[in-house]
Structure 1
């Protein structure tokens, strides 16, 4: 029996995610650990005069959600920017941008997010001239939902010095027009960053992803602003029932800000962040930075113990890498950001140093390149429990499906990303990959049945952050064609992909991700019974209480 109990949650439908005891009615917490879980009367009998009681009113109680792929700094900044989610047509776009510009007269760069590739129409592509007709005199930049493509007006292109183009490196493009000037379309980070750097963070929120580096100089005022933004983003995570995030930004600047928040008042959410390895970096950087950061950030609340890599871009812009040609663009398969040989060297070295690797791979060609690299690491270093990851996996070649289980590679996927889900249009995606690839796109069920471990996330701010909305999208997805397989997981498997499997991919399954005595007290209490509501109603549920490390971080 515990000496004391600080908190009990009762009158609950607890889904522990522990196969040994999958359900319970109540639980008890002392300090930052769960100390008991069981029946209502049994747990209430442990309470003392100072015990806090939380009545779940019959709602579901789960391990805190683990957002396995997101961008905490960029997501935090997005809370201040214009959402264009669901906006369609020039008139609606103009109305939204005009209102935002009027509300923010002092912003040097106005930024819009989640602008569909078909925001004007299914056939008309955005150019700087469209945006000039809305904002002729103030720099404006709007991002596609995937944030791998953006569009800028002439004022922004001029201010950034790229109206006449610039060499932005392999896999990146400032799209040029017949008049010798930029059209306004910018593909990938190197092309987007010159404009984005005029924003409120001067691009600091994107440095880890875009350059793998840190800001050269930051004033005290700028750092205080960044810290406040990140603190706001962390609080927003807690409001959504999230207790762990795996933030893919990957730079020391952010890690040090997070460490300062942890020292001053404690992080309300556990954060894990990688070192970001870019294709121009010498191989020795993996040891110089990746190993050094692992030794410095070792706690259960802030860790840096893996390496992030980009293998390709995204399908809509033609920068994802395919095994065969794009269906709508013969003789084009995309261009990988790493050659197979170069990526294999990175994988072998990181694996040799005991660092997990997580690789952005959208197209089936990029997925194959990454699996080949993981196989090379196994040959060079011997088989070990590496849990190397592949992020996104929008398309996978059938021949590569069994290799996930064979190599122990984790599939890190986003239920908010399939076209037709979460308000996303079907085009141009379906035409780009072509019907032959449709059955193997976003293939959660296929990969799971083949033995792959799967974690779910949103890639915030690419998609809205709410785990409950993401779970809703996962459970309500429909095939694009009647003869296609249903790729949904069961509700229990989907919840595991947001809780216990998230802990597994972090090598923390021995202390979080399930609700059992001795484990960290990371808990979310929902406003209803997630098993009883229709799948289409899951997004209407709300986190009533979030507890991280035994501390209530959100209470509705």
Structure 2
């Protein structure tokens, strides 16, 4: 008896990401699996009375995008907040905030995102006095794109109990002014959290990434709001061709919300989350919590099977850790959030429990500390296929480049982050790291040539989530100086970093990330042929249809 496909996609430029059969014309789906990949003439034979036929009309078809580093709750909340992306100057800021305040008269906290470090001045830091001139009668705060710094007006600082300063833990700071009161600048999550607590969500979106904790109490109405926010964010992911997200928040509250969505309407994207290990947590948490979460959330749709950590902050906030001094601040290298011994202990214990580790490391000093910890774990427990990661790697020392291949460490990097990309300014970043560090900043090509596996992502909401926008930024990155090495990857390498390599780091390369029979039906149909589109036009190529687990999760409305 003839078995027909549920969906067939014909007349496509299929980039399978399968090295053995890299290209095809058509694919067929039955249930949640691919059943055939080949020529349109072959796939047509699987068309039955109920088969849906999608004509790709010569456009690219890819495995669904795997956003390998993002924050779903925080990003989803950001969809409802005021965006200050590319806003410059006091007048434009004031107009934007006043309009947002007028449209949202009942918000407890006016909160804006994507506020550039130099939004008001190239030379001076924004203060509460500047923001008081923008709005003074309602609490207002704005967050930097990297979410490691925020600025609050006096009203917000007063209500949050920060105006007179507060001790907020190692690596965090309520910056004080010359008048003995808070300047308005808040560095890192523990300093920002008291202000975020004033918001409609009570700052719950920041708990996984920030304090590493769970909400103290949530009413049914508040939880319903959070669930709707995350649903909206997942739908947004699907609209961008994303079928897998690696959500770097790490708390049980989010996992249980995602579990509820999966059990009711179904997740429109596969979700992988870590257990977030902070420097104040006992080592026993890895066995008593992280390993148990792994056992509880272990499906192909929702998994919690690795550990996330921060070793430093960000360069612009002067909290990244470098081997040598900041170029603009002699005597300051940054303070790591863990000692080397403490980091080694955690990584070694996670490795013993066969929990992969992902560590945020921006500066070359932080990157070296993490590599040293991974090396220590391998020496202690025996080398294994751990697939540990380092997140961001904005600056690396030449001596550490070959260690990625040697240790099997994956480089998790963001094409939207280099200064000059995705609307980001060149300063103060370039001056802070100094000219000598430029050649090995965001060193994708250097790492790839040394044999490192690379995965790409946006760190949403730090940068816009759109994968095609990120791919555009990866392919059009500009040199900061004529003698700089070109760190771009090829288009094929870039697409792999967004699909097949993302599946490999999840230990799921045997069932997703490539288009071949028997694999999960996670697919994006684009509006054009990416191989013939000029690099500068790649962002204009849009997702037309997204399919996750054999179900259409997004379809562009005609017209």
Answer yes or no: same fold by TM over 0.5: yes
Tell me how far 1:209 sits from its aligned partner.
1.3
Give 3-state SS (helix, strand or coil) of 2:552's partner: strand
Aligned position for 2:538? 538
Pair 1:335-2:325 in alignment = no
* C-alpha contact (below 8 Å) 1:416/1:473 kept by paired residues: yes
Structure 1 partner of 2:281: 281
Alpha-carbon shift at residue 208 of structure 1 (Å): 1.1
**Deviation at residue 121 of structure 1 after TM alignment:** 2.1
Q: Please show how residues 491-510 of structure 1 align to structure 2 within 5 Å.
A: 491-510=491-510
Q: Specify the alignment match of 1:106 in structure 2.
A: 106
Residues of 1 paired with 2:479 and 2:356: CA distance?
Answer: 33
Deviations 1:134-169 (A, max 9, x none): 111100010111110000000000000010000001
Moved over 6 A (4+): none
| CA distance in structure 2 between the aligned counterparts of 1:108 and 1:23, rounded to whole angstroms | 53
Task: Give 3-state SS (helix, strand or coil) of 2:402's partner.
Answer: helix
Counterpart in the other structure of 1:345: 345
Conserved 8 A contact 1:7-1:51:
yes
Question: Secondary structure at 1:74's aligned position in 2?
Answer: helix
Over 3 Å counting, the alpha-carbon distance change for 1:525 and 1:200 in structure 2 is same
Map of 1:400 onto structure 2 = 400
User: What is the CA–CA distance in structure 2 between the aligned matches of 1:427 and 1:294, rounded to whole Å?
Assistant: 41
Q: CA shift at 1:479, angstroms?
A: 1.3
Which secondary structure state, in structure 2, belongs to the residue aligned with residue 273 of structure 1? Answer: strand
CA shift at 1:341, angstroms? 0.5
Query: 1:468 maps to what in 2?
Result: 468
TM-aligned CA deviation for residue 454 of structure 1: 0.3
CA contact (8 A) 2:13 2:60 kept: yes
2:411 is aligned with 1:411:
yes
Match of 2:516 in 1: 516
Question: Which residue of 1 is the match for residue 426 of structure 2?
Answer: 426
SS at match of 2:432: helix
2:3 touches 2:46 (CA, 8 Å); kept in 1?
no
Provide TM-score, normalisation by structure 2. 0.99
Mapping of 1:99-498 within 5 angstroms? 99-498=99-498
Partner of 1:53: 53
Tell me the equivalent position of 2:42. 42
CA displacement 1:271-316 (0-9 Å, x = unmatched): 0000000000110001111100000001000000000000000000
Secondary structure of the 1:394 match is coil
Aligned residues: 556
Output the CA distance in 1 between the equivalents of 2:214 and 2:423.
Answer: 35
In structure 2, C-alpha distance between the alignment counterparts of 1:396 and 1:200, rounded to whole Å: 40
Shift in Å, 1:125: 1.7
Pairwise CA distance, 1:123: 1.2
Distance 1:381 1:97 in 2: 54
Q: Secondary structure at the residue paired with 1:53?
A: strand
Q: Report the secondary structure of 1:274's partner residue.
A: strand
The SS at the match of 2:74 is helix
Provide, for residues 241-266 of structure 1, a one-character-per-residue CA deviation record: whole Å limited to 9, x for no partner.
Answer: 00000000000000000000000011
Alpha-carbon offset, residue 4 of structure 1: 2.6
CA separation in 1, counterparts of 2:537 and 2:370? Answer: 37
Contact map agreement 1:16 1:63 (CA 8 A) in 2: yes
Give 3-state SS (helix, strand or coil) of 1:553's partner: strand
Q: Which runs of 5+ in 2 are unaligned?
A: none
Q: Note the C-alpha offset of 1:198.
A: 0.7
| CA distance in structure 2 between the aligned counterparts of 1:152 and 1:136, rounded to whole angstroms | 10
SS where residue 401 of structure 2 aligns? helix
CA distance in 1, matches of 2:215, 2:4: 47
SS of equivalent residue, structure 1 residue 115: coil
Alpha-carbon contact 1:141-1:153 (below 8 Å) kept: yes
**Contact 1:242/1:269 (<8 A) preserved:** yes
Q: Does the CA-based 8 Å contact 2:62-2:524 persist in structure 1?
A: yes
SS at match of 1:455: strand
Matches of 2:200 and 2:402 in 1, distance apart?
45
1:16 aligns with 2:16: yes
* Cα offsets for 1:162-219 (capped at 9, x unmatched): 1000000110000001111000000000100000111111011011111211111100
Aligned counterpart, 1:73:
73
Quote the offset at 1:2 in angstroms. 7.4
In 2, the alpha carbon distance for the partners of 1:108 and 1:231 equals: 23
Q: Per the alignment, in what secondary structure is the counterpart of residue 210 of structure 1?
A: coil
* In structure 1, C-alpha distance between the alignment counterparts of 2:175 and 2:211, rounded to whole Å: 21
Q: Matched residues in 2 for 1:345 and 1:2: separation?
A: 58
SS across alignment from 2:554: strand
Higher mean Cα deviation, 344-353 or 114-123? 114-123
TM-aligned CA deviation for residue 541 of structure 1:
1.0
Distance in 1 between residues matched to 2:343 and 2:2, nearest whole Å = 51
Q: Distance in 2 between matches of 1:553 and 1:19?
A: 27
In the alignment, the residues of structure 1 paired with residue 118 and residue 156 of structure 2 have an alpha-carbon distance, to the nearest angstrom, of: 22
Checking the alignment, whether the CA contact within 8 Å between 1:2 and 1:35 is kept in structure 2 is no
**Cα distance in 1 between the residues matched to 2:103 and 2:392:** 36
- In angstroms, what is the RMSD of aligned CA positions? 0.7
CA contact (8 A) 1:418 1:424 kept: yes
Partners in 2 of 1:462 and 1:142 — Cα distance? Answer: 13
Distance 2:382 2:99 in 1: 59
Q: Equivalents in 2 of 1:409, 1:2: separation in Å? A: 47
Q: Normalized against structure 1, the TM-score is what?
A: 0.99
